[in-house]
Amino acid sequence: MKNDPKIGGPGKSADPHVRNSGRVKSGRGLLSKALLHDLRNKIPVRALIENELGVRCETESGIFRFECPVCGSFHTSVLENKNLARCFGCETNSDTIDIAMEVGKTGFRQSADFLTDLLESGAFEKPNARAARGPSEPVSLSRVLSSLAPADGTAERIQSLEKKVEKLGKRMDGLQKFLLDNLSERGA
């Protein structure tokens, strides 16, 4: 194998920040294998696509679909138990880092930093719903929606709320259809 100055010789990575340990180095420090594992597995790919990356999404017949950032197709799906996204149009498989890179048109490190910030913010922690509300206390829709809106900027809050209400409406329509179909199958 010929030494290539861009690669640094045989057995060396093309990326000067990648070390043999599998960690990536930049101004922010090293990314450990454990952190990379957490970025790929503790951030739900569907929630990332739907809520953080601004990707167009829809739920059709109970199936979550998103616009593929590579080819623009809606012939997509998420395998939640493996935490992977798939486009059947361009046959692209993506984990959280891959999809963040493609949507953001950023490099590996920038995407990993973005996801690290999200992970550290606790945006994907699953709070105990009963503990958060108290025992059997209903939560109003307006309270839920206001908690989802960004705290800064009225125009941004309104836009964010409108999008979330539209998504909620679509989900409610899907639930209503599901319930009506089930009731009609049971002869009720």
Question: What CATH number did the domain enclosing 95 receive?
Answer: 3.90.580.10
Distance CA 77, CA 89 (A): 11
Better pLDDT: 51 or 9 = 51
% pLDDT > 90, the chain: 37
Which of these three, 101, 125, 149, is where a domain ends?
A: 125
State the total domains in the chain. 3
Question: What pLDDT is attached to residue 28?
Answer: 58
In this structure, is residue 133 part of a structural domain? Answer: no
Residue 3 domain boundaries: 1-31
Residues 126-165: pLDDT tens digits? 544 333 434 445 555 655 555 555 555 566 667 777 777 7
Same domain, 40 and 81: yes
Same domain, 104 and 120: yes
Residues 114-129: pLDDT tens digits? 999 988 888 777 544 3
CB atoms within 10 A of CB 4: 11
Same domain, 110 and 62: yes
Distance CA 64, CA 49 (A): 11
Same domain, 4 and 52: no
Same domain, 42 and 84: yes
In this structure, is residue 178 part of a structural domain? Answer: yes
Same domain, 120 and 45: yes
Q: Classify 22 as helix, strand or coil.
A: coil
